[in-house]
Amino acid sequence: MKIIGINAFHADSSACILVDGKLIAAVEEERFNRIKHWAGFPIESIKYCLEETNLTISDIDQISINIDPKANYLKKIFFLFKHRPSLNLILKKLKKKKKYKSIGEIINLEFNKEKFKGKINNIEHHYAHLSSSFHVSPYDEACILSVDGFGDFASTAWGYGANTDIKIENKIYFPHSLGIFYQALTQFLGFKNYGDEYKIMGLAPYGKPKYVEKLRDMILIKNKGNFELNLDYFKFHKEDFNYRWEDGKIEIEDLYTKKILDLLGPEREKDEPLNDFHKDIAHSTQRIYEEVFLNILNNLYEKYQNKNLCIAGGCGMNSVANGKIKNNTKFENVYIQAAAGDAGGAIGAAYATYYQNKKKERKFQMRHAYLGTSFNEIQILDCLKNNQEKIENQKCNYNKISNNNELSKIVAKDISEGKVIGWFQGKMEWGPRALGNRSILGDPRRSDMKDILNLKIKRRESFRPFAPSILREHVSEWFENDDEVPFMMKVYQIKENKREEIPAVTHVDGSGRLQTVYKETNEKYHDLINEFYKLTNIPILLNTSFNENEPIVSKPEEALDCFLRTKMDTLVMGNYIIKRS
């Protein structure tokens, strides 16, 4: 059975393909069109999935999308009856829906020389999220939780997964949302772009919990894991709220009402310098988020008494909260796949369809995220030759190192001498994290490395941390929690006596968003870190995404362009090394 799963007409548009239950390829559309969080139809992603499997659209049995307009229909009707929106608003929404063609129409237009003969499935948004984590996890049974902004009129769903079956026990419906609470306060702090919530996580450790009690008035924790927003502080559920995406670009006006100003004081202007007030709001926001999140989890454990947990949804990207699960609940094993947010819904839609026949056995476990585009040595050399003049104008030169071990030694030595390396290898990562194939690498021992990276390449806020990629076999020596974190989805405390040795990846509160690196899933990256370990006795590299205020680079041309327009010292693409003279 061949199934394409898609996340379409929603942020982080994406596609994946399963062949007989095995995930072969998965990619986000933004990597092709270079528009962050693009929300249209993932046609280039679908084409890549077909190319990777040597299939045509006519070979596909089913296409599944992670949205179902019929889901939670009675809840929608009740909400409309209770709030009685104007006829103009209803007509406006119907007119907007008419603009968009059906999945079948789009497929037939894009693949007009072939015919899709299969079935199109709609999978409820949170069911797809839950499937995207549980069905690719290592657990036969687990508690399951999906938390995000909204999808199919719900923001949260939890329950239990057993074998291939998923049972949803409870949902939190529109307009109550933990994701919206966090996003609203992200906007309040002047971070207005869609997806800026991670900046609050980075800023939070610099502040104090001064506003926790005030923020409790915005969201109420209830029994059995439930919660409610105080809607006096929000306007996203009202008729005149403006949420739009034109040509795939998302624009959302402020989610909150002016009452928040009475509660907290003035909002931060976009370019206003960050002060203690802003840092304290960030800290307090993160604290309240964790209280609500952990309340759900503790109630979920009490219900099912299973120590395995699978998390999905946009809020599953809150790696700080994820890192606190083991110390604040009875869960011992926590799995979060590489694209926990809406992009991951493509995988969930596909697996939900595949496992509709419950006699099927689980065939796949996501142990790594290397599911995207790749380029061979010939393609890389063609890129270099085609850009020879640009390379020479920048006083750069390149050569090939045929031996992988020699390559690792050369690059490890460069890193140990303080050089910043662009590392472009193998298949591109699925999800928003660079995990050693589309990464910028540096020496974690240098206290000035964070400033060097921000000055030379990233040009981002100084408070945002960089991640430590660590050899799996050394985690217990450096971190207070010895855990599997292949997708950089958990933040743990670095051991106090180790923090001074790796200041570039140690956050202000002593934590690090680690990535555990395994030889069996990424031998080349593992060997590079190991060579650095031999030189320095540090089994860690600083790792950040290979980009400059854009989606992570996908093609050699994009990697080379990023290298040439920034002050990166060295670019390694495959076995080719490009250096500045």
- Summarised one tens digit per residue, pLDDT across range 190-200 is 999 999 999 99
Is the model more confident about 401 or about 93? 401
* Owner of token pair 């589309």: 438
pLDDT of residue 73: 81
Alpha-carbon span 108 to 94, nearest angstrom: 24
Is the pLDDT at 468 greater than 50? The verdict is: yes
pLDDT in tens, 215-231: 999 999 999 999 999 99
Alpha-carbon span 234 to 218, nearest angstrom: 9
* Owner of token pair 């006596």: 497
Q: How confident is the model at residue 461 (pLDDT cuts 50, 70, 90)?
A: confident
DSSP 58: G
Question: Average pLDDT, whole number, for the chain?
Answer: 94
Cβ within 8 Å of residue 465, ≥6 positions away: 202, 450, 505, 507, 512, 513
Whether the Cβ atoms of residue 508 and residue 494 lie closer than 8 Å to each other? no
Q: Hey, is 308 helix, strand or coil?
A: strand
pLDDT of residue 97: 53
Cβ within 8 Å of residue 112, ≥6 positions away: none
Is the pLDDT at 99 greater than 50? The verdict is: no
Tell me the mean pLDDT in the region 565-580.
96
Alpha-carbon span 490 to 480, nearest angstrom: 12
pLDDT of residue 101: 66
Domains of the chain: residue spans and CATH: 2-125 (3.30.420.40), 139-334 (3.30.420.40), 377-580 (3.90.870.20)
pLDDT of residue 88: 59
Q: How far apart are the first and last CA of the chain?
A: 53
pLDDT of residue 85: 60
pLDDT in tens, 505-540: 999 999 999 999 999 999 999 999 999 999 999 999
User: What angle (nearest 5°) sits at the alpha carbon of residue 578, between those of residues 566 and 382?
Assistant: 105
pLDDT in tens, 357-395: 666 788 899 999 999 999 999 999 999 999 999 999 999
Would you put residue 72 in left (φ > 0), alpha (ψ -120 to 50) or beta? left
User: What angle (nearest 5°) sits at the alpha carbon of residue 321, between those of residues 340 and 150?
Assistant: 45
DSSP 547: -
Tell me the mean pLDDT in the region 321-334.
98
Alpha-carbon span 229 to 176, nearest angstrom: 5
Tell me the mean pLDDT in the region 49-62.
97
Alpha-carbon span 548 to 563, nearest angstrom: 10
Would you put residue 573 in left (φ > 0), alpha (ψ -120 to 50) or beta? beta
Alpha-carbon span 434 to 487, nearest angstrom: 9
Cα–Cα nearest to 313, from 503, 178, 213 = 178
Q: How confident is the model at residue 91 (pLDDT cuts 50, 70, 90)?
A: low
pLDDT in tens, 539-550: 999 999 999 989
Q: What is the 3-state secondary structure (H, E, C) of 488-526?
A: CCCCEEECHHHHHHCHHHCCCCCEECCEEECCCCCHHHH
pLDDT in tens, 277-317: 999 999 999 999 999 999 999 999 999 999 999 999 999 99
Cβ within 8 Å of residue 113, ≥6 positions away: none
Alpha-carbon span 375 to 17, nearest angstrom: 19
pLDDT in tens, 229-287: 999 999 998 866 777 777 777 889 999 999 999 999 999 998 899 999 999 999 999 99
pLDDT of residue 394: 94
Burial of 369 (0-12, 13-18, 19+ CB in 10 A): buried
Q: How confident is the model at residue 581 (pLDDT cuts 50, 70, 90)?
A: confident
Burial of 446 (0-12, 13-18, 19+ CB in 10 A): middle
pLDDT of residue 49: 98
pLDDT in tens, 140-185: 999 999 999 999 999 999 999 999 999 999 999 999 999 999 999 9
Q: What percent of the chain has pLDDT over 70?
A: 96
Give just the sign of the alpha carbon dihedral 527, 528, 534, 537.
negative
Is the model more confident about 565 or about 73? 565
Alpha-carbon span 201 to 542, nearest angstrom: 19
